[in-house]
Amino acid sequence: MVRGVLRSWAAMAMALLGSTAASSPAAALVVASFDAGGGISPFLQVPTGVHLFLSISAPGHEGDPGNPRIFDSLVFTPSDVGGTFFVDQSADPDFDDFVALLTNGLDDKILAEHSIEPEGASGSGASGQFESLWVGDDVGATDLAAFEITRIGLTIDSLSLPAGLTGTFSYSGTYDFIEAVPEPSTDLLFVVATSALAVVATRKRAGGEAPIRGTSR
């Protein structure tokens, strides 16, 4: 009976360990976030969508064509309101360069920019702030040098586009800076599983479980 209990315990622990290992990658932790928004009018062509993207630069180099940009390949419409979109190393060629500046310990500047589709339909705009105010304030530091940022998310909170040449485009969104963290349960389950298997093995070497005592008839 004792052996059966131990085997059941070991099997359950190993099953849990296996399911944890096969589950989604490490959990995600939002370490910092900020809100952005803006608007623009008038229009030379009827707008069909908008680019919402981030760029980062050393102070005084805002607008340089070589500054890393992320999200700039995406076009958003009012149907995207409420959705969250992510970029990472595999999805955006500028992601690594962007994160390198985001985590270099210096107070670089982030711009939240927007431009209207089709190209030439209207102008573009941007709002910007130093890292210490937009992300560093969340973690009590100049920037996110203490973190390994693996993904950045954009949630479209609101977005409106006029149906004609008159009216105003406006949007608001939230950018989240995300760090991957290890699953805390994996190590614990590993210890439980290996401990249970060790106990079972020890009992087998010792000759099995003790006989069950009972009353004779």
Q: What is the pTM of this model?
A: 0.71
Helix (H, G, I), strand (E, B) or coil at 81: coil
Note whether 206 and 53 are within 8 A (CB).
no
Per-residue model confidence as pLDDT tens for the chain (217 residues): 544 444 444 454 445 444 443 334 457 899 999 899 888 777 888 899 999 999 999 888 887 889 999 999 999 999 999 999 999 999 999 999 999 999 999 999 999 999 999 887 887 888 899 999 999 999 999 999 999 999 999 999 999 998 888 888 899 999 999 998 766 555 554 544 455 445 444 444 445 544 434 444 4
Q: What is the pLDDT of residue 184?
A: 57
Q: What is the pLDDT of residue 180?
A: 85
CA-based end-to-end distance of the chain: 22
Distance, CA of 133 to CA of 34 (rounded, Å): 9
Q: What is the pLDDT of residue 121?
A: 80
Contacts of 176 (CB under 8 A, 6+ apart): 30, 32, 33, 152, 153, 154, 155
Distance, CA of 19 to CA of 190 (rounded, Å): 12
Distance, CA of 145 to CA of 128 (rounded, Å): 20
Q: What is the CA radius of gyration of the chain?
A: 27
Helix (H, G, I), strand (E, B) or coil at 140: coil
Distance, CA of 96 to CA of 59 (rounded, Å): 19
Chain mean position to CA 168: 31
DSSP string, 12-39: HHHHHHHHHHHSSSSEEEEEEEEEEEEE
Tell me which residue of 176, 58, 177 sits closest to 106, measured CA to CA. 58
